Amino acid sequence: MSQQQVSPAKQLIGSIELAPDKSIAQRAAIFSLLHEGTSTIENFSPAQDPQSTLSCVAKLGAKVDIDQSIVRIEGVGRDGIKAEINELDCGNSGTAMRLLSGVLVGAGIPVTLIGDPSLSSRTMTRIIKPLEQMGAHILARNSAYAPLFITREDPLVPMDFRLPIPSAQLKSCILLAGLFGEEPTRVIESIPSRDHTERLLQLPVSELHGERIIEASRHLKIPAQNYRIPGDYSAAAFWLVAGSIVPNSEIQLPHVGLNPTRTASLKILQEMGANISIETHSESFAEPVGTLTVTSSALKAFDIPVEWIPNAIDELPILAVAMAFAEGTSHIRGAEELRHKETDRIMAIAQLLQAIGAHFRELPDGLEIIGNPNLEFESATFESYHDHRIAMASAVASLRGSKSSFIHDAEAAAVSYPDFWTHLGALSAN
Ligand code: S3P
């Protein structure tokens, strides 16, 4: 278990090639398995979560050929999936476990999905119940946790499913199972969650009374996944905040994914007074991409509208750091989902804020943060709780200390962003 030392930064200057988008990379791998034929994915992510998904896909029959960051996948199509071994390891990845569960139920292949201690402590009830309604039989530890033993002997039952929580993992899981049904499965969402699955699979989407209805069935062709994966907006967010709160900074982030269902934190930071310029590129595939440039600025408090939370869900830890250095009192509410991430992120953010001496109140569904642009601390010691986003948010907070700070279990960053520490060093070098 590594401890990372982070020195204070006088300024952050440079251009960063971000880690490839984790959500898109994992979908690219799974959808390539479902496509019958070759997919060529450029800029595939070396991070642990996408690599876990890729190795699961290979064990379900796809031929995977890796040439540096280019991954070629010979997909077997919906009817060619077979389990070469009966246990698949999803590592730390909730996306892998939830999306693959949908595929396995659809394909009717009996497999056990396992994960690391963090993933094995996250509830899977949200997928187990609807998948059972679709005909699956799922044996889970305490009826809720991995290992998940998944079978389906009865015919697949397509269904109309109204999302009880705005979760893209749950939405994708049900749609993936639905792709195997003769009749359509429809997922209805009232609060939009990230829409990479719909875009990359080109699923029919309609709108009725302000709700989105996404449809999947066996009759839809699964397209080849031929594209270059953009930089991960969720990785960019760490630098957007770092570049804002460290004086005299300018950070450029080329080729970053700017899917609007992911970038609510961009709006939030701009509302807080962050100086971020956005140059959008022409769309070369289903996802919008652009270049972001951030320069330092004074930040002011902001109350995040509850309906923006799902589109900022992964950025809330780093937004909390921005709020700690902003003028005034900010609120993050309606974010109870954070308690079910890689760790209880509301608790972990509270510990992070405590470590830098920020004023805050932990709430059942979020935090109240009493910001201070002149917040001063010497040296802090942080726990990552083995959570990549907490490790990286702690690193950004450390930049404002007057002496070096320390982050326990900092290697967790590699789950989504293996080069994070190298990039931090490069930006601080000037
Ligand atoms: C993800 C969806 C989100 C997000 C996670 C990745 C995805 O989870 O927090 O990091 O790739 O679909 P939920 O859909 O459960 O909110």
Domain count, the chain: 2
Note whether 266 and 161 are same-domain residues: no
Q: Dihedral of the CA atoms 281, 285, 286, 289 (nearest 10)? A: -30
Q: What is the pLDDT of residue 325?
A: 98
Residues 6+ apart with CB under 8 A from 60: 33, 76, 81, 82, 83, 84, 88, 103, 109
Q: What are 163's two structure tokens? A: 């999302």
Tell whether 151 and 241 lie within a shared domain.
no
**Rounded distance from Cα 169 to ligand 1 centre (Å):** 5
The answer to whether the CB of 92 is under 6 A from ligand 1 is no
Taking residues 23-47, what's their average pLDDT?
98
Instruction: Name the residue of 98, 167, 337 whose CB sits within 8 Å of the most ligand 1 atoms, as the mutation to test its pocket.
Output: 167
| Centre of ligand 1 from the C-alpha of residue 98, in Å | 10
213 with 345, same domain?
A: no
pLDDT in tens, 269-289: 999 999 999 999 876 679 999
Boundary residue ending a domain (204, 225, 246)? 225
Report how far ligand 1's centroid is from the alpha carbon of 126 (Å). 13
In ligand 1, the atom with minimum distance to the C-alpha of 197 is 12
Residue whose CA lies nearest to ligand 1 atom number 10: 314
Q: Whose CA is nearest to atom 16 of ligand 1?
A: 167
Closest ligand 1 atom, CA of 168? 14
Indicate whether residue 311 lines ligand 1 (CB < 6 A).
no
- The answer to whether residues 8 and 104 belong to one domain is no
Is pLDDT of 81 > 80? yes
In this structure, are 120 and 29 located in the same domain?
Answer: yes
Distance between CA 429 and CA 109 in Å, rounded? 52
For the CA of 234, the closest atom of ligand 1 is 10
pTM for this predicted structure:
0.97
Q: What is the tens place of the pLDDT at every residue in 113-122?
A: 999 999 999 9
Q: What is the overall mean pLDDT for the chain?
A: 97
Q: Are residues 161 and 309 in the same domain?
A: no
CATH number for the domain spanning 251: value is 3.65.10.10
What's the pLDDT tens digit per position in 165-178? 999 999 999 999 99
Ligand 1 mean position, distance from CA 23 (Å) = 8
Domain end marker among 225, 246, 274: 225
Q: Cβ(168) to ligand 1 under 6 A?
A: yes
| Judgement on whether residues 35 and 165 belong to the same structural domain of the protein | yes
Q: pLDDT digit string (tens) for 292-303?
A: 999 999 999 999
- Whether 296 is in the pocket of ligand 1, judged by its Cβ within 6 Å, is no
Please say if the pLDDT value at position 291 is more than 90: yes
Gap between the Cα atoms of 220 and 182, Å rounded: 10
- Mean of pLDDT values over 346-350: 98
Expressed in angstroms and rounded, the spacing between residue 95 Cα and the centre of ligand 1 is 6
* Residue 276 near residue 267, CB atoms below 8 Å: no
| CA nearest ligand 1 atom 11, residue | 23
Q: What's residue 285's pLDDT?
A: 79
82 close to 57: Cβ distance less than 8 angstroms:
no
The ligand 1 atom nearest the CA atom of 171: 14
Same-domain check for residues 296 and 284: yes
Residue from 22, 23, 118 to probe ligand 1 pocket by mutation (most atoms less than 8 Å from CB)? 23
Residue 167 Cβ < 6 Å to ligand 1: yes
- Domain with 312 in it: 3-20+230-429
**Nearest-CA residue for atom 4 of ligand 1:** 314
Residue-wise pLDDT for 30-39, tens only, equals: 999 999 999 9
CA of 192 to the centre of ligand 1 (A): 12
Q: Which of 225, 245, 260 is the last residue of a domain?
A: 225
CA distances from residue 81 to 41, 61, 109, 131 in whole angstroms, order as listed? 20, 6, 8, 19
74 shares its domain with 186: yes
Mind telling me the catalytic residues? 314
Residue keyed to tokens 């992510």: 45
Ligand 1 near 194 CB (within 6 A): yes
One-letter amino acid of 208:
L
Q: How remote is the CA of residue 209 from the centroid of ligand 1, in Å?
A: 25
314 Cβ closer than 6 Å to some ligand 1 atom: yes
Same-domain pairing of 191 and 252: no
Ligand 1 contacts CB of residue 313 (under 6 A): yes
The alpha carbon of 362 is separated from its chain's Cα centroid by a whole number of angstroms, namely: 23
Q: How far from 163 is each of 160, 169, 287, 406, 422, CA to CA, in Å?
A: 10, 11, 23, 40, 40
Same domain, 218 and 242: no
Section 332-349 average pLDDT:
98
| Long-range interactions of 29-32: CB distance < 8 A, separation 24+ | 29/53, 29/54, 29/57, 29/71, 29/73, 30/57, 30/99, 30/100, 30/103, 30/176, 31/200, 31/201, 31/222, 31/223, 31/225, 32/57, 32/62, 32/73, 32/75, 32/224, 32/225
Give the pLDDT of residue 284. Answer: 67
Tell how far the Cα of 53 is from the centroid of ligand 1, in angstroms. Answer: 14
Nearest CA residue ID for atom 9, ligand 1: 314
What is the per-residue pLDDT for 84? 82
Same domain assignment for residues 245 and 157: no
Q: Which of 1-5, 189-193, 253-257, 299-303 has the lowest mean pLDDT?
A: 1-5
Neighbours of 161 (CB within 10 A): 22
